[in-house]
Amino acid sequence: MTDYLASLTTEGSNPVTQMIDESSTEEILTLLNQEDAKVPEAVAAEIPAIARAVEALYQSLSSGGRMFYIGAGTSGRLGVLDASECPPTFGVDPLLVQGHIAGGDQALRVAVEGCEDDGVAGRALIDELGITSRDTVVGISASGTAAYVIEALKHASELGAATIAVVNNKQTQLEQVCDICIAPVVGPEAIAGSTRMKAGTAQKLVLNMLTTSTMVKLGKTYNNLMVDLKASNKKLYNRSLRIITAATGVEEAEAARYLQEASMDCKLAIMMIKSKLGRNEAAAALEECKGNLKQAIRICTKAI
């Protein structure tokens, strides 16, 4: 294992930043920025694999399944972060997209060393979550060696779930146990082995792409507007008004009136305005189209 770890790109020493400890503050920042600039290109190279992953996630979620992120350390924290953003962004049930980290919630704030090596705990997590063949499990590990993640994906696969790996090296151990592997290789870190840096940035970009693309395909947006939100605070209320006016062209006062009638449901308010239907009829039309606002509007306006 020692030789294997030493061969990983993420564990190498970066010749460009070799003398970073003798650099000025601006030089340090420039070096870090130059290394970070390599990340988008590495992610772009993985778009075909990301597309396959999104298709798998779409099939899973549109068929009543769920999405799970499982990781350790920085990778686990990024998964939990992305999952936690889905309910406020796309109005989905918190159980639809879940993030889990080796060591449990305490590991979100404090490093819990050794947990990533506990493969038994990874398998136990899959049982605790009640993973089925309808679900998709995404394992995240920069090195692709975390036993917790590897065994979790193995067990999920045994139960018939689709499995996706997000790693930062090619031909990793994690790649051997998943259906789809996404591997943006960003090269050695500015600080050798600190995979919270470029590797973590690449992972964050990939996770954003996975959930955002899947939610767009599920009809959680209207054009590029985040319509599936509830105006539960002042910021979201004002955002809802802006979205309604952008989607319908009505004045803010009229948008506010419809939003009130729709019980602070932005999507329903837009549906009412665009279709000229009452609240109940508009809600029924949306339900008939599984929440796809554009589809519901097209059907209703065509029938008028």
Active-site residues, by number, are: 85, 116
Q: Give 144's contacts (C-beta < 8 A, 6+ positions apart).
A: 8, 165, 167, 168, 169, 172, 173, 174, 175, 183
Q: Are 198 and 189 in contact (CB under 8 A)?
A: yes
Q: Give 64's contacts (C-beta < 8 A, 6+ positions apart).
A: 134
Q: Please return the burial class of 191, using the count of CB atoms within 10 Å of its CB with bins 0-12, 13-18 and 19+.
A: middle
Tell me the C-alpha distance between 236 and 219, whole Å.
20
What Cα–Cα distance (Å) separates residue 50 from each residue in 55, 141, 147, 215? 9, 16, 23, 14
Beta bridge partners of 101: 71
Question: Phi/psi class of residue 279: alpha, beta or left (left: φ > 0; alpha: ψ in -120 to 50)?
Answer: alpha
Q: Are 265 and 291 in contact (CB under 8 A)?
A: no
Return the half-sphere exposure (C-beta side, CA atoms, 13 A cut-off) of residue 129.
32
